Structure 1
Amino acid sequence: MKRTIITLLPLLLWLALPTRAEVQEHLQEQYYDVQVVSGQSLNRALNEASPIRQNGQIYHAYARWQVQWNFWWREQRDGRCRIDLTRTRLNATITLPRLGGGDAQQRQRFAMYLNALREHELGHYRIGQAAAAKIDTALRQTPEYPSCAELQRQANQRANAILQRHIEQERQYDRQTGHGRTQGAWLTE
């Protein structure tokens, strides 16, 4: 009899723990090449080289992020269900230009511009980080439901609502910063 109690004790302790969570983040930078010759407009060279085009607009940098979530639940004998474990992943890629050629003044100007571009795109990434953290928290705080089907539906609705709010926050971020202009990501030439 003691052996059964000892064997069940770790399982009972694990079941009594609060919901466990794990947020994983992966950020990757990728580059496209820009060739500029002395005297050439840096802005024009970037516009010609940039692969980033949306709605008829050319952008010199871009951040793309995606949040994925999983959760595991435990069903009680009476059918009630609650989440025991969550795993939320944020995968992001920032695309930036890489300068080749140019004179010292162009390279210096590009370096300052690139820093501002990177900072702006990291702002997008931080919005993705906030989305992932809030989704994970919301999933862990999902209350118990009368059935696992209802739990799954409600948890995914909560996560998707948070995701949509952060996608809108990204749009507002671009409007407020003029797609990075107010942060120095702007070439006048």
Structure 2
Amino acid sequence: MKRLTWLCLFCSTALQAQVNEQLEHSYYDVDASAHALLYPALDQASPIRHDGKVFHGYTDWRVDWRFWWWEEPDGRCRITRTETTLHASIILPRLLAASPAHQQHFAAYISALQQHENGHYQIAQAAARAIDQRLQLTAEQSSCQRLQERANQQANTVRQQHVEQEQRYDRDTEYGKTQGAWLRH
């Protein structure tokens, strides 16, 4: 009987963790019927502009986290539950009107562009999982205030590491060009 009671007490203090994902896809329309080349039609239609450059696809993400803690009578504090949510959106072009040749080029291009954007999403997924894990591993602190500061600092550090990983991903793939997301002008 005592063993069963101890086991149930252990279960009730085990850390609870949860990672949720919310992914939204959206599209912008491209009419290439009046263009001799597909690239200018995509550039003209794209709403994605950063630092004076036009992009045809984009993945945006953020990770939100929450955690709950237990405070001991002496003030020591530890995390007992985490909840991490990945909010992401991928925007891609959708070809409405085009010649058969443009349609053929677009089919290959959009497949590669989608693969590239999915790579960004996979980095975001890894960020959410890593943040949740880091929160779970946050060491007990001498106060709940210190616990909050430490946990948030660690989560922000993990997030920043994944932002930097995304930047390397774009550099290494030349924004998807090495993955086939490239059109001749």
TM-score (norm 1): 0.91
- Offset of 1:116 from its aligned partner? 0.5
Q: Aligned Cα RMSD in Å?
A: 1.7
Task: Please state whether the residue corresponding to 1:21 is helix, strand or coil.
Answer: coil
- Indicate yes or no: 2:88 matched with 1:96: no
- Offset of 1:27 from its aligned partner? 1.1
Which segments of 5 or more consecutive residues in structure 1 lack a partner in the other structure?
Answer: 1-7
Identity %: 49
Q: 1:4 aligns to what?
A: none
- CA distance in 2 between counterparts of 1:13 and 1:134 reads 25
- Offset of 1:104 from its aligned partner? 1.5
Which contiguous aligned blocks of 4+ residues in structure 1 show a shift greater than 6 angstroms?
8-11
- CA distance in 1 between counterparts of 2:44 and 2:10 reads 61
Q: 1:136 aligns to what?
A: 132
TM-score (norm 2): 0.93
Q: What is the aligned length?
A: 182
AA aligned opposite 2:40:
R
Task: Write the deviation string for residues 83-123 of structure 1: whole angstroms up to 9, x where unpaired.
Answer: 00000000100000000111222111101100101000011
- CA distance in 1 between counterparts of 2:8 and 2:147 reads 23
- CA distance in 2 between counterparts of 1:10 and 1:22 reads 23
Q: 1:29 aligns to what?
A: 25
Task: Write the deviation string for residues 63-94 of structure 1: whole angstroms up to 9, x where unpaired.
Answer: 00110000000101111000000000001000
- Offset of 1:46 from its aligned partner? 0.2
Q: 1:152 aligns to what?
A: 148
Indicate if the aligned counterparts of 2:13 and 2:80 stay in contact, CA closer than 8 A: no
Indicate if the aligned counterparts of 1:38 and 1:103 stay in contact, CA closer than 8 A: no
- Offset of 1:39 from its aligned partner? 5.7
Q: 1:5 aligns to what?
A: none
AA aligned opposite 1:100:
L
- CA distance in 2 between counterparts of 1:25 and 1:142 reads 22
